[in-house]
Amino acid sequence: MTLEEKNRLLISLTDAHSATRAIVAGIDLEMPVHLDSGWRVRDILGHIATWDREATKSLRAYCAGTEYTTPDLDEAEHDFNQRAVQELRALSTQQLIEEWELARQDFKQAIEEIPLEKFPGDLLYPWGTERGSISKLVEYMVEHDVEHRDEIVRAA
C-alpha cells in the first residue's frame, strides 16, 4: 500500500459522505424512507454512523494486532440495526448529525493511523463473516453510503 492509495481511500470516504450531506441538506430529516421499518432520513444517517463506528473498531483492532466482531450480531443483523436506530433516536437532530459527522471522521482517522506496512491488511470485518483488505472494507462502506443515499433520494 502506498501513501497515494491510502489517500485515495480517504478521499473516497470523504466524497461519499459529502454527497450524502448535500442530499440531506435540503430535506426534512424526519421524512420516512422505509415504510416497513419506520426508518426516517435521520435513522439512516444514524445507521451509517453505527456501521462507520463498527468499521473503525475493526480497523483499530487490526492495527493493535487483534480482531473485532460486532457483539450480538450473530445472524440477526436486522435486530442489531433496529436496536442501534432506536438508541440513536434518543439524540436530538443536531446531536445525531454531529454523531454522523464524527463517526466518519473517526473512521478516516483510524485509516490515517494505520502504518503503511500494515496495508493492504487481512482483517476481520465487523460483521464477522468475512475477512479482507482495508481497501475492500472502505469500498463496502462507500457502497453502503451510496445504497442508503439512493434510498433517501427515491423517498424524497
pLDDT exceeds 70 at position 23 = yes
C-alpha distances in angstroms, 119 versus 84, 127, 134? 30, 20, 7
The model's confidence at residue 89, banded by pLDDT at 50, 70 and 90, is very high
Task: Give me the pLDDT at residue 83, please.
Answer: 92
Give the position of cell 461519499.
16
Task: Give me the pLDDT at residue 119, please.
Answer: 85
pLDDT exceeds 70 at position 75 = no
Domain boundaries, the chain: 3-155
Over residues 110-127, the pLDDT tens digits come to: 999 999 888 888 999 999
Nearest to 119 by CA among 62, 49, 66, 39: 62
Task: Give me the pLDDT at residue 18, please.
Answer: 97
pLDDT exceeds 80 at position 74 = no
pLDDT exceeds 90 at position 46 = yes
pLDDT exceeds 70 at position 1 = no
CATH class of the domain at 3-155: mainly alpha
Task: Give me the pLDDT at residue 79, please.
Answer: 87
d(CA 134, CA 139): 9
